[in-house]
Amino acid sequence: MQRIQESELIINNRGAVYHLDLRPEELAHTIITVGDPDRVATVSKHFDRIEHKRSHREFVSHTGILGKKRLTVISTGIGPDNIDIVLNELDALVNIDLLTRTIKPQLTQLNIIRLGTSGALQADIPVDSFVVSTHGLGIDNLLNFYRYEENEEEKQLLQSFITQTQLSQRISQPYICGGSAHLIKHFVNNFHHGITVTCPGFYGPQGRILRLGLSNPHLIDRLTQFAFGPHRITNFEMETSGIYGLGKLLGHHALSISAIVANRVTKQFSKDSQAAIEELIKNALEIINNW
């Protein structure tokens, strides 16, 4: 096997991958990702015990036991650029021998579940509800740097999206990837399902106007009105498509679940977003512990 050079995979002086500062034995094979580093403890407080705690930059991780399951919860920070770091380094921890710097002959499949926040793009999805992303549709361009090709259904869905939203290539070359059916099947009751659009920013890319004008001022309306067969866009945020795309390319199961803290159609914002996030965490952990 070809050796991966030191400049390509950085390993620190304690034998951990550089950004996450994790060693292979410090990572569970079921992983919960959150954006906010402070939210890691909000998840791990439900663990029966914590085995490992690491912190480097915005990447905080706790690995421990919940019931009979070993879990890692890790913060990614905000945005698809951070997802590129997190997904690649999580995969390296299980599928690259860090001593020989070679890819292992037998690959390990991870379960990666994002618990985050999001804005709804449909009037019938209220604040404080939960959305499971059937697909991640990226207008962030991350996956365009990798060798990725959509399946036939995804290609048709994507072409319809480009036609209906009239997104120019100057802004984005969109891509789409489905979530793991293996994980989605556990999150059905009391969850909305739909396409999640991933944006490369919070203000202009999500149609917000403060002091700057927008190149696509009708983006919100076009996302809300999009339809392709049974599919519609339910929400948008800044990580899902990268998690789904890289997860699929690397051979992992990936799922994104969002607590809706804002509805961009009805212009409402949650009166207690922390309570909604806490409820999502408790519900998700109960499901994970029982599957």
Rounded CA separation 38/60 (Å)? 8
pLDDT of residue 261: 98
pLDDT at 194: 98
Tell me the two tokens of residue 12. Answer: 């620190």
Report, as an integer, the average pLDDT of 143-151.
95
**Per-residue pLDDT reduced to its tens digit, 151-204:** 999 999 999 999 999 887 788 899 999 999 999 999 999 999 999 999 999 999
The whole-model pTM stands at 0.97
What is the Cα–Cα distance from 229 to 240, expressed in whole angstroms? 22
- Give the mean pLDDT of 84-111: 98
Q: What is the per-residue pLDDT for 108?
A: 98
Q: Give the pLDDT confidence score for residue 36 in this predicted structure.
A: 97
Specify whether the CB–CB gap between 101 and 31 falls below 8 A.
no
Mean pLDDT of 210-222: 94
Q: Is the pLDDT of residue 27 over 80?
A: yes
Torsion angle (degrees, nearest 10) of CA 18, 239, 237, 284: -100
Instruction: Name all domains of the chain by residue range, CATH numbers in brackets.
Output: 24-290 (3.40.50.1580)
Share of the chain above pLDDT 70, in %: 100
Which range, of 24-38, 60-74, 124-138, 153-167, averages the lowest pLDDT?
153-167
pLDDT (0 to 100) of residue 154: 94
Q: Which of 163, 247, 236 is nearest to 206 (CA)?
A: 236
Measured CA to CA, the distance from residue 83 to residue 127 in angstroms comes to 25
Asked if residue 259 has pLDDT above 90, the reply is yes
pLDDT of amino acid 166: 86
pLDDT score for 167: 81
The string of DSSP codes covering 45-109 is TTSSEEEEEEEETTEEEEEEEETTEEEEEEE--SSHHHHHHHHHHHHHHHHEETTTTEE-SS--P
Residue 38, pLDDT score: 97
The whole-chain average pLDDT of the chain stands at 96
Quote the CA–CA distance of 245 and 263 in Å, as a whole number.
26
Separation CA 233–CA 137 (nearest Å): 9
The average pLDDT across 65-89 equals 97
**Over 80: is that where the pLDDT of 71 sits?**
yes
Q: What is the pLDDT of residue 97?
A: 98
pLDDT at 170: 80
Tell me what pLDDT residue 81 has. Answer: 97
Residue carrying the six token digits 């990447």: 59
